[in-house]
A and B are shown apart, each in its own frame.
Chain A
Amino acid sequence: DTGVSQDPRHKITKRGQNVTFRCDPISEHNRLYWYRQTLGQGPEFLTYFQNEAQLEKSRLLSDRFSAERPKGSFSTLEIQRTEQGDSAMYLCASNRGNEKLFFGSGTQLSVL
Chain B
Amino acid sequence: GESVGLHLPTLSVQEGDNSIINCAYSNSASDYFIWYKQESGKGPQFIIDIRSNMDKRQGQRVTVLLNKTVKHLSLQIAATQPGDSAVYFCAETHNTDKLIFGTGTRLQVFP
A residues with CB within 8 A of B: 4, 33, 35, 40-45, 48, 56, 91, 93, 97-98, 100-106, 108
Contact = CB atoms under 8 A, between A and B. Distances in A.
Contacts of A93: 43
B44 A33 contact: no
B18 to A, nearest CB: 24
A103 B45 contact: yes
Interface string B87-110: 001010000101111111000000
23 contacts: A35-B101, A40-B103, A40-B104, A41-B103, A41-B104, A42-B4, A42-B89, A42-B103, A42-B104, A43-B44, A43-B89, A44-B101, A45-B98, A45-B99, A48-B98, A91-B43, A91-B44, A97-B96, A102-B46, A104-B43, A105-B41, A105-B43, A106-B42
Interface in B63-103: 89, 91, 96, 98-103
A48 to B, nearest CB: 6
A33 B99 CA distance: 10
A35 B46 CA distance: 16
The winner among A4, A100, A102 for most chain B CB atoms within 10 A is: A100
A91 B36 CA distance: 14
Given A41-B104, A42-B89, A33 B46 contact: no
A94 B104 CA distance: 21
A101 B99 contact: yes
A56 B98 contact: yes
Given A56-B98, A100-B34, 18 more contacts: A33-B98, A40-B103, A40-B104, A41-B103, A41-B104, A42-B89, A42-B91, A42-B103, A42-B104, A45-B99, A48-B98, A93-B43, A97-B96, A101-B44, A103-B36, A105-B41, A106-B43, A108-B41
Contact of B43 (A48, A100, A103): A103
Contacts of A105: 41-43
Contacts of B45: 103
A42 B98 contact: no
A13 B99 CA distance: 29
Nearest to A108: B41
